[in-house]
Chains A and B, each alone.
Chain A
Amino acid sequence: MNTFKRFHPVTIVVYFFVVTGFTMFYNQPVFLVISCIGALIFSILLLGRELIASIPFYFLFFLGAAVINPLFNHNGTTILFFLNGQVITKEAVIYGFFMAIMLIAVLMWFRALSILMSSDKWLFLFGTVTPRLALVMSMALRYIPLFRMQVQKIQQTQKAMGAINEDSYLSKGAGSLQIFSVMVTWSLENAIDTADSMRARGFVDHHKKNYKRSRFVNYKFRRSDGLLIFLVILLTGILSAGILKGAISYSYYPTASKLLFSKESIIPYAAYGILVLLPAILEIKERIQWIYYKSGM
Chain B
Amino acid sequence: MIKKISVRQKKIIEYVIIFLLIPTIIALGTLVFEDRKYAFITLAVTILACIPLLLTFEKRTDSTRKLIIIAVMTALSVAGRFLFALVPGFKPVTAIVVLTAIFFGGEAGFLTGALSAVLSNFMFGQGPWTPFQMLAWGMIGLVAGFLARPLRKSKILLSLYGIVAGAAFSMIMDIWTVVWYDDSFQPALYIAALLSSLPYTIMYAASNVVFLLAMIGPIGKKMERIQTKYGI
Residues of A participating in the B interface, judged by any CB pair closer than 8 Å: 20, 24-27, 65, 68-69, 72-73, 99, 103, 106-107, 110-111, 113-114, 119, 122, 128-133, 135-137, 139-141, 143-144, 146-148, 151, 172, 176-177, 179-181, 183-185, 187-192, 194-196, 198-199, 203, 205-207, 212, 240, 243, 251-252
Contacts and interface: CB of A to CB of B under 8 A. Distances in A.
A272 B37 CA distance: 20
B171 interface: no
B39 A24 contact: yes
Interface string B32-68: 1101100110010000000000110111011111011
Contacts, number: 170
Contacts of A144: 75, 78-79, 119
Contact of B67 (A107, A180, A205, A243): A205
Contacts of A128: 2-3
A132 B57 contact: yes
A147 B68 contact: no
A96 B115 CA distance: 34
A107 B182 contact: no
B111 A199 contact: no
A195 B67 CA distance: 8
Given A25-B36, A72-B188, A73-B186, A110 B125 contact: yes
Given A195-B64, A207-B61, A129 B2 contact: yes
B70 interface: yes
B3 to A, nearest CB: 7
Contacts of A106: 127-128
Nearest to A137: B115
Contacts of A146: 75
A25 B76 contact: no
Residue in A72, A73, A113, A140 with the greatest tally of chain B CB atoms within 10 Å: A140
Interface in B155-173: none
B187 to A, nearest CB: 10
Given A99-B181, A207-B7, A27 B35 contact: yes
Contact of A181 (B72, B125, B127, B215): B215
A25 B35 CA distance: 8
B122 interface: yes
A71 B132 CA distance: 26
A240 B33 CA distance: 11
Nearest to B5: A129
A290 to B, nearest CB: 31
Given A65-B181, A137-B115, A188 B71 contact: no
Given A72-B188, A133-B57, A140 B182 contact: no
Given A130-B58, A151-B79, A184-B76, A143 B71 contact: yes
B200 interface: no
A139 B66 CA distance: 13
Given A188-B72, A191-B65, A194-B68, A140 B223 contact: no
B33 A139 contact: no
Interface in B72-122: 72, 74-76, 78-80, 82-84, 86, 92, 111, 115, 118-119, 122
Given A128-B2, A184-B76, A207 B35 contact: no
